[in-house]
Amino acid sequence: MQKLIVAALTVLCMFGAGSLVMADEAVKGETETTKSDVAAEKESGKSDSKGKKKGQKKQMKAKRHAAKGKTKAQKEEAPAAAPSAPAPAVAPAAVPAPAAGH
Q: Is 98 strand, coil or helix?
A: coil
Q: Is 67 strand, coil or helix?
A: helix
- Residue 39 belongs to a domain: yes
Q: pLDDT value at position 36?
A: 86
Task: Determine what percent of the chain is predicted with pLDDT higher than 90.
Answer: 5
Q: pLDDT value at position 15?
A: 75
Range of the domain at 53: 1-70
- Residue 78 belongs to a domain: no
Q: What is the pLDDT of residues 69-80, one digit of tens each?
A: 888 888 887 765
| Most confident of the ranges 30-39, 42-51, 57-66 | 57-66
- Residue 43 belongs to a domain: yes
- Residue 92 belongs to a domain: no
pTM here is: 0.33
Output the CA–CA distances (angstroms, integers) from residue 12 to 6, 9, 20, 23, 94, in the order listed: 10, 5, 12, 16, 125
Q: How many domains does the chain have?
A: 1
- Residue 6 belongs to a domain: yes
